[in-house]
Structure 1
Amino acid sequence: MTNHWLFWGFWVMANALASFMWGSIVLSATPAAFAGMLLGIVVFILVYGTLDAYLIKQNLSRWHDALRRSVYIKAGLQLMNVFLAFGWPASPELWAGIISVGITQDRLGIAQNHYPFGFALLNTLLTGAILSLMVAALTAIIFFIRKKHESR
């Protein structure tokens, strides 16, 4: 089971890399802000690791495989940040971050100046939740394509 948690620690960190870099640029570079982002990443390591352990325990290997494949695809989508050099904001991380900052700052009134830890933590959790919806959609698509392909 140790490899299981190392796997999810690595892939959640890999998937959070672009968001972490964007957050480092947007947030004031305080230790509290970085601690908030890191705590948010740990939450997603626990969520994905627990979900995957459940799929394995319940012998839902197709869902397990689909989840892992979708995480690989999501990591690859971070390469879309290169399009920013051309002025094209195509990166899912960028849009998820913009949405989460809008919710945190404008809707909830939590400003990074006054609450750097809370602002960073909430933004990391919201960004991760939005990107997790994309992972869930990819997982479902992969699952049903493989199921349909195997039934032929």
Structure 2
Amino acid sequence: MSILALTDAIEEVFPNGTLFEAVKPNEKGQYVEDAFPWVVARIHIPNTLSRSMAGTRHAQRVRITVTIAGLTFTSVRVKADKLDPIVEGARPAAEGWSLSPIRRLNTRDIVEDDSITLTSANRHPVYTVIEWELTAARA
């Protein structure tokens, strides 16, 4: 019934290669552009949606924020196109929890990140953020 069991179950929905920690450029001595495109998913701590009169939580909303970054708009769209059918409608299973299917809430526009210049490509990377959510109730 722990939040860690819940987040582990949600992480299992995502394909191999999805990161769950921030990407650190040049962490392993490689150029940052060699790591593109990448997908970083963040599973947030559940927020209470409803409570009983006694104060017991009935349902909680869990948000999932995914950042997809790449060298081109097309590379970001390709990653999003592959990820969406895997995540949308998936129903994770976590011990002690009753979970709804995951539903997409929002997709932000693809934009350039002006704070980073890729020296070998002489360009800025581009990224988008996609948000999903599911409802969780303790079983």
Same-fold call, TM > 0.5?
no
Structure possessing the higher relative contact order (Cα contacts under 8 Å, 6 or more residues apart): 1
Richer in strand (by share): 2
- Normalising to structure 2: TM-score of the pair? 0.32
Richer in helix (by share): 1
- Normalising to structure 1: TM-score of the pair? 0.30
